[in-house]
Amino acid sequence: MSPNSLQLHRLTQSSQFEQIVRQGKKVSSGSLVFKHMESPDGAIRLAFVVRKKCGNAVFRNRVRRILRQQFYAHFSEVPVPFWAMIQFFGNSKDFSANTLHAEADGIMRKLGWIA
């Protein structure tokens, strides 16, 4: 795996998810919830969660791709390494990519990553 691979920035173990749920702080914007905590291993790790109730697999993967691109683009502005879980609670009927971008930007503004 290359050192620039996005797979290096994934949360993979259920214990990591549980730790974020128990100890993490929550920021929300529209249909997105961003739960985060300071990184115990010094690396930035993210997980993108879209429930099956939101839509079919094609839709859920599209949402993940959009969110992944939004959040990974702002890694350079992050002051402290963190672990985070980004959850999407919308549905495919009311979905708009522009709205999703705006909600992601809203979360990043609340975190102080962008002006």
The CATH number covering residue 82 comes to: 3.30.230.10
Is residue 1 a part of any domain in this protein? no
* DSSP summary character for residue 56: -
Over residues 61-103, the pLDDT tens digits come to: 999 999 999 988 887 778 888 999 999 999 888 899 999 999 9
Residue 2, Cα to own-chain centre: how many angstroms? 22
- pLDDT value for 1: 53
User: For residue 2, what pLDDT is reported?
Assistant: 52
Bridge partner list, 85:
35, 47
| Percent of the residues in the chain that have a pLDDT greater than 70, as a whole number | 95
Query: Is residue 15 assigned to a domain?
Result: yes
Does 94 map to a domain?
yes
Total number of domains in the chain? 1
Q: pTM to 2 decimals?
A: 0.87
The dihedral through the CA atoms of 99, 115, 36, 69 has a sign that is positive
Range of the domain at 38: 6-111
For residue 62, what pLDDT is reported?
Answer: 95
| Segment 9-44, tens digit of pLDDT | 888 889 999 999 999 999 999 999 999 999 998 888
Does the residue 73 lie in any domain? yes
